[in-house]
């Protein structure tokens, strides 16, 4: 990964007057953040670094790029992800960031890469930077550790497997950083090392920081944790990636019920690193990459992942602002029910030109079928007539004489459904229909499906659904596919006549499911 220009000079003893001039440089020059050094969380003022520490520190020799790189250094949130396109100077920023507290003896930082080979480049960059930033900084190859004149330490090491994180049990750090976070398949290392984050010095705030490009084995969990909850550059309260619930102090705590901490995602692009961008060669190389890698590394797109099934998805094309659905448009719903996992419900409308509009989503867990039916009916109270509903056909299954099936329970509540298509080959044909609707028509420059931007979970999940490696014609059923299944059920219900044969009364979807057919609840 390319670093940005650093404007690093050999260390020289500066006069007091020169040091004062250096301190007045524009914000793009890294300073030991005055607010971070002189203020405690309670707003009390502490003593400034000693003159000896100032002599040891050469902040003026490191110049940060204005924009995302500087914002990353200044970010006050507990956990921050700096990512996006390649070449934005992310690794450089990650090396600089923990230096803010290196004038304190009890500051300890940990910076990780996935493998030892990847770590080599990071160490090499640090050997160019740290001794020039702090006079007297020393590197120990045996300990994989930098030691600074104050006694502060920064470890640069690798973490290849999830279980390797347990070697830090009993240790504590005031700063933890991950370079290329999406190379970690699970969130376990990140979550575990959060428990190692502590400081007894009120002058030292604890942080977790990460840099990464989209893609890699951890793309999905990183996206859930940092990308999906809020728009880029916007702070948000940390949420559980699975339940979407805000993390709060537990009962019995003095701050019980209050949110724990904030997160933030700061996007970067090649253009944010003028030194590399102006060379031109690196951009040319990125432009030559295959579509998926090009979108990830050049444009920093999180809406596509390696091995993704629906590479046609484009947020600019398929996601629209909500509007009032006209009363004359045909409306219907589709549901994939689950209790232990999730229940996914999507609401559709058909425009006069036969475009399919997804205008509402419901994504809940641990909700009984009867309760779900009531929620659905409440949400539809202002929708007008609902033409029909489609429900996962497995909900009609019965086990002995234990009473009505899940589908029958919902129908008895007045929430009518018919079974989804479970015929042989229906999964593949449903996937193909989604491909067709996502495709942009060359004449109209419009896709066959549009999604309201309020359907946040569908928008987040659809573009990163992975293909089944054993059957590329289908998606991986181990992925989070509940909303995908609801989408597929809805599309396969044939809400729109597609050809002249669909207009035949004998085969029309409108005639196939007659109101008198009690099996379907109509």
Tokens of 491: 């599309």
Domain boundary among 297, 323, 356: 297
Structural domain contains residue 72 = yes
- Considering the domain architecture, whether residues 273 and 411 belong to the same structural domain is answered as no
Q: pLDDT tens-digit profile of 85-136?
A: 665 578 888 999 999 899 999 999 999 999 888 899 899 999 988 998 888 8
Q: Same structural domain for residues 94 and 123? A: yes
Number of neighbouring beta carbons within 10 Å of residue 167: 10
* Separation of alpha carbons 129 and 97, rounded Å: 12
Task: State the pLDDT at residue 352.
Answer: 92
Tokens read off for 85? 């396109």
178 and 255 share a domain?
yes
pLDDT number for residue 134: 86
**Residue 22 domain-assigned?**
no
Q: What is the pLDDT of residues 165-211, one digit of tens each?
A: 989 988 999 999 999 998 898 899 999 999 999 998 989 999 999 99
Task: Please identify, among 271, 297, 323, the residue that sits at the C-terminal boundary of a domain.
Answer: 297
At 148 the three-state DSSP class reads coil
- CATH code: domain of residue 255: 3.40.50.300
Domain count, the chain: 2
**89 Ramachandran zone, left/alpha/beta (phi>0; psi -120 to 50):** left
SS3 letters across 399-451: CCCCCCCHHHHHHHCCCCCEECCCCCCHHHHHHHHHHHHHCECCCCCCECEEE
Do 422 and 393 belong to one domain?
A: yes
506 located within any domain = yes
* Cβ within 8 Å of residue 229, ≥6 positions away: 236, 239, 244, 263
Are both 60 and 209 inside the same structural domain? yes
| Residue 302 placed within a domain | no
Together in a domain, 355 and 470: yes
pLDDT of 132 reads 85
Does a structural domain hold residue 37? no
What CATH code is carried by the domain that includes residue 422? 3.30.420.280
DSSP state of 2: P
Q: What is the pLDDT of residue 357?
A: 97
CA atoms within 13 A on the CB side of 399: 3
User: What is the per-residue pLDDT for 498?
Assistant: 54
Same domain, 355 and 382: yes
135 falls within a domain: yes
72 lies in the same domain as 205: yes
Which residue, 267, 297, 327, sits at the end of a domain? Answer: 297
Q: Residue 223 contacts by C-beta under 8 Å, 6 or more apart in sequence?
A: 214, 302, 460, 464
Q: How far apart are CA 428 and CA 200, in angstroms?
A: 57
Q: pTM of whole model > 0.85?
A: no
Q: Are residues 365 and 289 in the same domain?
A: no
The residue segments making up the domain with residue 460 are 315-520
Residues 6 or more apart whose Cβ sits within 8 Å of residue 156: 111, 119, 122, 123, 126, 144, 145, 146
Flag whether 4 is in a domain.
no
Is 497 in the same domain as 368?
A: yes
Which parts of the chain register pLDDT below 50? 1-49, 53-55, 59-61, 500-522
Burial 226-263 (b: 16+ CB within 10 A, else e): bbbbbebeeebebbebeeeeeeeeeeeeeeeeeeeebb
Same domain, 162 and 240: yes
Is 510 within a domain? yes
Half-sphere CA count of 309, side-chain side, radius 13 A: 25
Q: Do 275 and 413 reside in the same domain of the chain?
A: no
């Amino acid at each position: 990964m390319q670093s940005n220009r650093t404007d690093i000079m050999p260390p020289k003893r500066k006069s007091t007057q020169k040091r004062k001039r250096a301190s007045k440089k524009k914000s793009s020059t890294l300073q030991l953040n005055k607010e971070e050094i002189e203020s405690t969380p309670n707003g009390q003022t502490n003593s400034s670094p000693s003159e000896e520490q100032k002599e040891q520190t050469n902040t003026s020799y490191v110049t940060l790029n204005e924009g995302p790189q500087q914002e990353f250094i200044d970010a006050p949130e507990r956990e921050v992800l700096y990512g996006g396109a390649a070449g934005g100077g992310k690794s450089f920023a990650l090396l600089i960031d923990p230096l803010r507290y290196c004038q304190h003896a009890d500051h300890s930082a940990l910076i990780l890469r996935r493998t030892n080979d990847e770590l080599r480049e990071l160490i090499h960059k640090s050997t160019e930077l740290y001794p020039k930033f702090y006079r007297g900084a020393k590197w120990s190859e045996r300990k994989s550790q930098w030691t600074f004149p104050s006694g502060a330490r920064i470890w640069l090491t690798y973490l290849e497997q999830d279980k390797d994180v347990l070697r830090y049990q009993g240790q504590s750090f005031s700063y933890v950083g991950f370079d290329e976070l999406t190379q970690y398949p699970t969130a376990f290392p990140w979550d575990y090392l959060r428990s190692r984050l502590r400081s007894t010095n009120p002058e030292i705030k604890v942080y977790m920081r990460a840099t990464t490009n989209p893609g890699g084995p951890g793309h999905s969990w990183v996206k859930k944790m940092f990308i999906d909850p809020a728009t880029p550059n916007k702070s948000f309260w940390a949420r559980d990636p699975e339940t979407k619930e805000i993390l709060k102090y537990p009962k019995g705590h003095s701050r019980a019920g209050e949110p724990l901490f904030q997160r933030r995602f700061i996007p970067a692009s090649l253009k944010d690193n003028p030194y590399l961008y102006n060379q031109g060669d690196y951009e040319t190389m990125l432009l030559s990459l295959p579509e998926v890698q090009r979108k990830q590394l050049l444009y920093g797109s999180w809406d596509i992942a390696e091995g993704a099934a629906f590479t046609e998805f484009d947020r600019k094309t398929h996601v629209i602002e909500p509007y009032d659905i006209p009363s004359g448009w045909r409306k219907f719903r589709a549901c994939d029910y689950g209790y232990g996992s999730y229940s996914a419900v999507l609401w559709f409308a058909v425009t006069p030109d036969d475009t399919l509009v997804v205008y509402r989503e419901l994504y809940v867990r641990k909700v009984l079928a009867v309760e779900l039916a009531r929620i659905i009916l409440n949400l539809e109270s202002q929708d007008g007539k609902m033409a029909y509903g489609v429900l996962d056909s497995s909900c009609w299954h019965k086990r002995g004489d234990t009473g009505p099936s899940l589908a029958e329970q919902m129908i008895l509540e007045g929430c009518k459904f018919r079974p989804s298509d479970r015929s042989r080959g229906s999964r593949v044909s449903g996937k193909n229909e989604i491909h067709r609707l996502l495709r942009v028509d060359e004449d109209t420059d419009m896709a066959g499906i549009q999604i309201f931007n309020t359907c946040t979970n569908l928008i987040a999940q659809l573009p990163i659904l992975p293909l089944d490696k054993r059957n590329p014609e289908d998606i991986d059923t181990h992925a989070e596919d509940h909303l995908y299944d609801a989408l597929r059920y809805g599309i396969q219900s044939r809400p729109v006549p597609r050809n002249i044969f669909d207009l035949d009364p004998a085969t029309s979807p409108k005639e196939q499911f007659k109101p008198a057919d009690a099996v379907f609840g109509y």
